[in-house]
């Protein structure tokens, strides 16, 4: 028997999946040629070819195996969520949807003991990040609009299914159900003023703090809730023949739909691939998204209501990103992600976030936020004079004519 505490590999994950599928089929299922597709840091993902297979005409599957949990929560400390259970529950929720609105690979089988999922293989698809770092401007634009439409369709399809998601989690033994970003956002709203003072010498105006705290309304039980992967960064979206599909749901939750839609404005806050979009692209993405969600939430067809909620989301994401990223550059201003070639410097990204927020705040009547944004940009310019002041466009949009 395999060691339950061993770190999984692509070969071991494929072998475990073969055993699982064989038990389900009552006959031997063979998986071969495991190909390591990477993982999320606490899991391994592999594609395996199906050989002998008595119950399906599938040629391959994708296997995801989570690392074992090796530490118990501290006595008296908060309970922690199990990403494996969230991934399973999310995939089960989606698999129950009609194929034409399913936003992810279907789940074929799972095994809690092995912490393993067997998923539909969507093929050798590029990610949205691949398209944005490619050389085809029109393909990148089309994929961004596809991302926005796919996000809206996922939200529309999962509206009103929060109870179903909770039931799936409980059946898996998961008792903790929350938006992981919500707690971080509340911490940012409480702690960022002091952090800006100590790290940048910026004292936020009291009005800016009040304007930001008003955005907390998006973090509770609003009337516009749907499923969110909690991480819709470009690396976590596959561009398939059936449109953009979302993957990695280990922090899946239900929350206000504009929080994810606002990724088009910031853009992609805190993501490793967080470069700039060409002028007007964010607005086109939001319009593509709105068309998908308006039939479910017709209130979002009201331009003033939608603009107000998007501005709140924009404020939250900029505060959250700064809270998460600013402490990382106390000693060295490095890239957001591990790959410097596909990730901007943190100070440059933060300048871009706050500069964009300054324009939105000035246009929507948030004078305190506009004042604070200008002060933060100036402080970052002074603190990091050697860093690029302007965030470059994604490479696909840097070509002639963009």
348/335 Cα distance (integer angstroms): 9
In the chain, the domains with their CATH numbers are: 10-121 (3.30.200.20), 127-397 (3.90.1200.10)
266, pLDDT greater than 60? yes
Which residues neighbour 391 within 8 Å (Cβ) at sequence distance 6 or greater?
274, 275, 276, 344, 348, 349, 351, 352
67/70 Cα distance (integer angstroms): 9
Give the total residue count for the chain. Answer: 402
- Report helix angle 367-383 to 206-213, nearest 10: 110
State pLDDT tens for residues 364-397: 999 999 999 999 999 999 999 999 999 999 999 9
Q: Write down the pLDDT at residue 88.
A: 97
User: Within a 10 A sphere around the Cβ of 142, how many other Cβ atoms?
Assistant: 14
- Sign of the CA dihedral with 63 first, then 66, 68, and 72 last: negative
Residue 121 in contact with residue 257, Cβ under 8 Å? Answer: no
Q: Write down the pLDDT at residue 176.
A: 67
Give the pLDDT band (50/70/90) at residue 332: very high
- 72 vs 32, which has greater pLDDT? 32
The H-assigned helical ranges of 218-345 are 257-261, 281-293, 303-325
Which residues neighbour 204 within 8 Å (Cβ) at sequence distance 6 or greater?
192, 193, 196, 197, 368, 372, 375
Q: Write down the pLDDT at residue 1.
A: 43
74, pLDDT greater than 60? no
Q: Write down the pLDDT at residue 10.
A: 92
Q: Write down the pLDDT at residue 76.
A: 46
Q: Write down the pLDDT at residue 73.
A: 47
Q: What is the CA radius of gyration of the chain?
A: 22
Residue 359 in contact with residue 367, Cβ under 8 Å? Answer: no
DSSP string computed for 2-58 = --TTSPP-HHHHHHHHHHHHHHHHTS---EEEEEEEE-SSSEEEEEEEE-S-SS---
Percent of the chain with pLDDT over 70: 93
Predicted TM-score of the model (pTM): 0.92
177, pLDDT greater than 60? yes
75, pLDDT greater than 50? no
Locate tokens 């509206």: which residue?
159
205/173 Cα distance (integer angstroms): 46
Cis peptide, bond prior to residue 94, ω within 30 of zero: no
Let me know the angle formed at the C-alpha of 235 by 232 and 238, rounded to the nearest 5 degrees.
85
Percent of the chain with pLDDT over 90: 78
Mean of the per-residue pLDDT values of the chain: 91
Residue 152 in contact with residue 179, Cβ under 8 Å? Answer: no
- Sign of the CA dihedral with 312 first, then 315, 321, and 323 last: negative
């Amino acid at each position: 028997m395999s060691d339950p505490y061993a770190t999984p590999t692509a070969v071991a994950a494929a072998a475990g999946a073969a055993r699982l599928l064989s038990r389900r089929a009552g006959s031997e299922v063979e998986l071969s040629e495991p190909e390591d597709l990477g993982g999320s840091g606490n899991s391994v993902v592999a594609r395996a070819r199906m050989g002998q297979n008595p119950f399906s005409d599938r040629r391959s599957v994708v296997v995801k195996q989570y690392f074992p949990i090796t530490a118990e929560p501290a006595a008296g400390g908060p309970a922690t969520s199990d990403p494996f259970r969230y991934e399973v529950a999310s995939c089960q929720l989606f698999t129950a949807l009609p194929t034409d609105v399913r936003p992810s690979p279907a789940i074929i089988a799972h095994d809690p003991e092995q912490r393993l999922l067997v998923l539909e293989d969507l093929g050798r698809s590029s990610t949205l990040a691949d398209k944005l770092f490619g050389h085809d401007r029109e393909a990148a634009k089309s994929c961004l609009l596809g991302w926005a439409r796919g996000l809206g369709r996922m939200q529309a399809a999962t509206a009103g299914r929060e109870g179903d998601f909770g039931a799936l989690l409980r059946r898996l033994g998961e008792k903790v159900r929350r938006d992981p970003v919500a707690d971080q956002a509340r911490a940012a709203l409480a702690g960022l003023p002091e952090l800006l003072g100590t790290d940048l010498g910026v004292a936020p105006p009291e009005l800016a703090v009040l304007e930001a705290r008003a955005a907390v309304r998006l973090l509770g039980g609003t009337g516009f809730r749907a499923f969110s992967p909690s991480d819709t960064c470009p690396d976590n979206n596959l561009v398939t023949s059936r449109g953009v599909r979302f993957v990695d749901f280990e922090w899946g939750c239900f929350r206000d739909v504009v929080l994810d839609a606002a990724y088009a404005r910031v853009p992609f806050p805190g993501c490793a691939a967080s470069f700039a979009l060409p002028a007007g692209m964010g607005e086109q993405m939001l319009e593509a998204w709105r068309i998908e969600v308006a039939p479910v939430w017709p209130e979002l067809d009201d331009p003033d209501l939608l603009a107000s909620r998007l501005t709140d989301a924009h404020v939250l994401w900029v505060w959250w990103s700064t809270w998460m990223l600013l402490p990382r550059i106390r000693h060295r201003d490095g890239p957001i992600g591990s790959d410097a070639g596909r990730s901007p410097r943190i100070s440059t990204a933060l300048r871009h976030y706050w500069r964009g927020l300054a324009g939105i705040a000035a246009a929507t009547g948030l004078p305190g936020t506009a004042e604070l944004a200008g002060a933060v940009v100036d402080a970052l310019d002074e603190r990091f004079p050697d860093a690029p002041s302007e965030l470059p466009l994604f490479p696909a949009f840097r070509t002639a004519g963009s």
